Amino acid sequence: MDDENDIGVVKRFLYVNRRAPHGSIYALESLETVLIGAAFDQDVSVLFVDDGVFQLKKDQQPDALGMKNFSKTFRALEMYDVEKIYVEDESLSERGLSVDDLLIDVESLPRNKIGALMDAQDVVLSF
């Protein structure tokens, strides 16, 4: 497609977060990328699966690891109109968590619905 035809086109982006919040740069990089995409008025959704669900856990204390606690930045998603935030049910339960343990409001989806969510996107980025 020609670049001129893409101007003003809104794309559906899904950012999939699979990794724990600390010990690598993936979680913070994903959050920054989500905020940038939302700032450019794209249709942004965020999905947390596997150890990625720990990114949203309340009361994180990464100071002992020498890491910065960026978890409160997830509250900025609302200011950027990122409202489609999903967690996989099974990932939460396998890690002893529930939606009540999370910093922000999310929609919990069963594993068998994740494929349909991904299929509905124009772009899927995994971190």
| Sequence spans of domains, the chain | 12-126
pTM flag (> 0.75): yes
- Class of domain 12-126 as given by CATH: alpha beta
Question: What is the mean predicted confidence (pLDDT) over 71-100?
Answer: 95
Least Cα distance to 76 among 45, 34, 42, 107 occurs for 34
- Quick check: 3 pLDDT over 70? no
**CA within 13 Å, CB half, 97:** 23
Place of tokens 């794309």: 11
Joined together, the tokens standing for residue 87 give 């967690």
- Quick check: 1 pLDDT over 70? no
